[in-house]
Amino acid sequence: MSHLDEVRRRVDATLMEDVITHMNELLVVLSDDTELSREDRYEQQQRLRNAIAHHGHQHREDKDARREQLTRGGTIL
């Protein structure tokens, strides 16, 4: 298995965990990975960045939906 394949598997596993801290840690690790080409490193980091951004948007939407449910008609239920 090539190094790139191993990195892809690691990124896949991190994305499946859906833990922002682990995604950020892997972003840092990939930044220092000299075995990857610039393009391959960028591609894997973008996958992580997109997941982090999506996670933030989803969290905000969930929070807004929860607030809407709790404050129907202007009254906290």
Average of per-residue pLDDT values in the chain:
88
Tell me the chain's radius of gyration from C-alpha atoms. Answer: 18
Cβ–Cβ under 8 Å, residues 11 and 46: no
- The DSSP line for 27-55 is HHHHHT-TTS-HHHHHHHHHHHHHHHHHH
Give the pLDDT confidence score for residue 69 in this predicted structure.
Answer: 76
Mean pLDDT along residues 61-68: 75
- What are the pLDDT digits (tens) for 2-35? 999 999 999 999 999 999 999 999 999 999 999 9
Least confident piece of the model among 5-9, 43-47, 52-56 = 52-56
Q: Tell me the backbone φ, ψ of residue 24, rounded to 5 degrees.
A: -65, -40
Domain boundaries, the chain: 3-74
Distance (Å, whole) CA 10 – CA 22: 11
